[in-house]
Amino acid sequence: MKLIRPDFIFSYWIFVWFILYILGVISFSPKFPFIIGLLENIVLLFAMLTYGTNKTTIMYFVITSVILKMIPIYYLYNDQIKIKDILFTVFIFILFSLWLKINNQTVIGNLNMIRNSILEGKNNTPLIAILQNLGKLIKV
Tell me which long-range contacts 96-101 makes (C-beta under 8 A, separation of at least 24).
Answer: 96/10, 96/13, 99/7, 100/8
Sequential pLDDT tens for the chain (140 residues): 688 999 999 999 999 999 999 999 999 999 999 999 999 999 999 999 998 889 988 999 999 999 999 999 999 999 999 999 999 999 999 999 999 999 999 999 999 998 888 888 888 888 888 888 888 788 75
- pTM comes to 0.90
Q: Is the dihedral of CA 16, 19, 25, 29 positive or negative?
A: positive
Which amino acid, one-letter code, is at 34?
F
Query: Residue ranges of the domains in the chain?
Result: 6-137
Does residue 128 come out as left (phi exceeding 0), alpha (psi in the -120 to 50 range) or beta? alpha
**Do 92 and 20 touch, CB atoms closer than 8 A?**
no
Rounded distance between C-alpha atoms, residue 68 and residue 96, angstroms: 17
In degrees to the nearest 10, what's the CA dihedral of 12, 18, 24, 27?
110
Cβ burial, residue 41 (10 Å; 0-12/13-18/19+):
buried
